[in-house]
Chains A and B, each alone.
Chain A
Amino acid sequence: MIAPMLLAIIGLIGLFKTYITPEMLRTLFNGSALHDMLVGVGFGGISVGQPFLSYIIGGELLKEGASFYGVTAFILAFVTLGVVQLPMEFSIFGFRFALVRNLLSLLFSFVLAFLIAFCVRMFA
């Protein structure tokens, strides 16, 4: 059921690993917590797919040198926000509920990413 998408993403990761150099990635995630979180939330929010794909993509990003701030924000936004499924949410729950829920999730992607990355750095 999830096999074709999984294989597709893994195939993309292989291309990513060989064609995107750490230097290129570093221009995207420059190491400042706020900047990395913005990039992470941006990409996570527009991506679609099974949540575990964000673990694989995030994990590989981390290996390539992205910061925990950016990667955590990416995973949170990937799992809790969905620009693509927004119309469905609006139609099921109504405008007000869906708007409040999504704005809160957007805000919490930043807050939680910061707290999680901060704690991980403290414990590690």
Chain B
Amino acid sequence: MKKNRSGLVMLGIVVLLYLVLGILHPDKTAAALWASLGVLKMIIPILLLVFFLMALLNAYIDEKAISRHMGEESGMKGWLLALFGGILSHGPGYVWYPLLQNLREQGAKDGLIVAFIYARAIKIPWIPLMITYFGWTFTLVYTFWVVVGAWLQGIVAQRLMRK
């Protein structure tokens, strides 16, 4: 709920900014409002697709089950679970961090937790938005390197922390 309020506060600041700038530079500020509406018009259809994907993930992915299996297995299976778990996990970090810390306390490898957290940089529901702005090539290349990067980070972290 705290997040909700920060959005409203931010929106209030922006509205105030528009009012002040609207008095100082009416023409420029009107143009800014039009530019914003243009961005909004472009994004709305994508948002609908995003919410559909989110609902789909919510319905089919059992987050707790992913994280429960992730740490117990080491080897390739552990890495795959950590990477896929991170990619499929959605929602804010503060929801996941306590769950992941709980896994560490139960013996999950630190490297797997690090890989999981980095793989969260891939947000499946928002991929349509990324494609719209950056194109297919960028999206595929980005996804590929983030997965590789998450895995490498996990390996390095495991070496450094040795648990």
Q: Considering the complex, give the chain B residue whose CB is closest to the CB of A12.
A: B14
Render B145-159 as a binary contact track against A, CB cut-off 8 A, 1 for contact: 110010011001100
Interface residues on B, range: 35 or more
Main secondary structure, interface of A, reads helix
**Tally of A-B residue pairs with Cβ under 8 A?**
155
**Contacts A15-B18, A55-B130, A119-B141 hold; do A8 and B13 have CB atoms under 8 A apart?**
yes
Please state if B11 and A5 are interface contacts (CB–CB under 8 Å).
yes
Please state if A85 and B94 are interface contacts (CB–CB under 8 Å).
yes
Distance, CA A52 to CA B40, complexed state (A) = 14
Chain A nearest CB from B161 CB (Å) reads 6
Chain A residues contacting B36 (CB-CB under 8 Å) are 10-11, 13-15
B10 adjacent to chain A (CB < 8 Å): yes
Among A9, A15, A88, chain B packs the most CB atoms within 10 A around the CB of A15
A contacts with B, residue count (CB < 8 A): 53
Please state if B145 and A101 are interface contacts (CB–CB under 8 Å).
no
Q: Considering the complex, give the chain B residue whose CB is closest to the CB of A124.
A: B137
Please state if A123 and B141 are interface contacts (CB–CB under 8 Å).
yes
Q: Can you list 13 residue pairs at the A/B interface with Cβ under 8 Å?
A: A5-B7, A10-B39, A12-B17, A19-B28, A79-B121, A80-B118, A80-B120, A89-B97, A100-B114, A100-B157, A105-B118, A108-B152, A115-B145
Q: Could you list which residues of chain A lie within 8 angstroms of chain B, going by C-beta atoms?
A: 1-15, 17-19, 51-52, 55-56, 58-60, 62, 68, 72, 75-76, 79-80, 82, 85, 88-89, 92-93, 96-97, 100-101, 104-105, 108, 111-112, 115-116, 119-120, 123-124
